[in-house]
Structure formats: structure tokens, C-alpha cells
């Protein structure tokens, strides 16, 4: 079974530029998550999708971050414009359902450096 795929693996941009990350979850997984992991910290949830609907985006900085999962499968996370403090690893995860005991399977992450 293929795992969660993410691309690109690394990205370096200048501040005020825009960037997009892509995630393809495990086949059949209805729930998709985007996390931000700043160096030395645990991951923090940015947004959770159930199929193509948003369940939780309370910690998403909506003035610059956006995410979509139009067909309920793969997802894109965008930052526009980027700030220095957005430098982090962006992790995508998926689970079969949204129950609290569901195992979340993580992708390898995209490491973003904003200069």
C-alpha cells in the first residue's frame, strides 16, 4: 500500500513570494490533515478536511494561508505572501476517518526555508 505522498520535498523562497505544497493521501482515506512543524517543536494542525469539506481550520493563518481538497482526494496548501516565520516543515497526514482514535499516517513532509 502506497503511503502519503508530498511534493516538493524542499523549497527555498524569498519573503513575500508565494509557494504551494501538494499532498496525495493513502487511497481511500477520507480525512486529510496539514501540519506545520517549526524546528524544535511538535507539529501543529493547520487544517483538517473530511472528504472535500473543512472540519477544522481554526489555527490556519487565513490572511496568507489557503488550502483546498477539491475532489476529496489530493490537496494543496498555499502560502501567499510568505514570511520569515513560515520557515518550517509542512506535514500532510491522512486517516480512514476522523475519529479521535484513528491512526494518522504522515507523509515525508516539505521543508520550507523563507529567506
Partner 1 sequence: AQTVTQSQPEMSVQEAETVTLSCTYDTSESDYYLFWYKQPPSRQMILVIRQEAYKQQNATENRFSVNFQKAAKSFSLKISDSQLGDAAMYFCAFRASGSRLTFGEGTQLTVNP
Residue 17 CB coordination number (10 Å): 14
CB of 10 to partner 1, least distance (A): 11
C-beta of residue 91 within 8 angstroms of C-beta of residue 35: yes
3-state class (DSSP) for residue 112: strand
C-beta of residue 24 within 8 angstroms of C-beta of residue 74: yes
84 to 103: interface string for partner 1, x by CB under 8 A? -----x-x-x-----xxx-x
CB of 64 to partner 1, least distance (A): 20
State the residues that interact with partner 1 by CB under 8 A.
Answer: 3, 33, 40-45, 48, 56, 59, 89, 91, 93, 99-101, 103-109, 111
Amino acid at each position: 500500500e502506497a503511503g502519503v505522498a508530498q511534493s516538493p520535498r524542499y523549497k527555498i523562497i524569498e519573503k513575500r513570494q508565494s509557494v504551494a505544497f501538494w499532498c496525495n493521501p493513502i487511497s481511500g482515506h477520507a480525512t486529510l490533515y496539514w501540519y506545520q512543524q517549526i524546528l524544535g517543536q511538535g507539529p501543529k494542525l493547520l487544517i483538517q478536511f473530511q472528504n472535500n469539506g473543512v472540519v477544522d481550520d481554526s489555527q490556519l493563518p487565513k490572511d496568507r494561508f489557503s488550502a483546498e481538497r477539491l475532489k476529496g482526494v489530493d490537496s494543496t496548501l498555499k502560502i501567499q505572501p510568505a514570511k520569515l516565520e513560515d520557515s518550517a516543515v509542512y506535514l500532510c497526514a491522512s486517516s480512514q476517518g476522523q475519529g479521535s482514535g484513528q491512526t494518522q499516517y504522515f507523509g515525508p513532509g516539505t521543508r520550507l526555508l523563507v529567506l
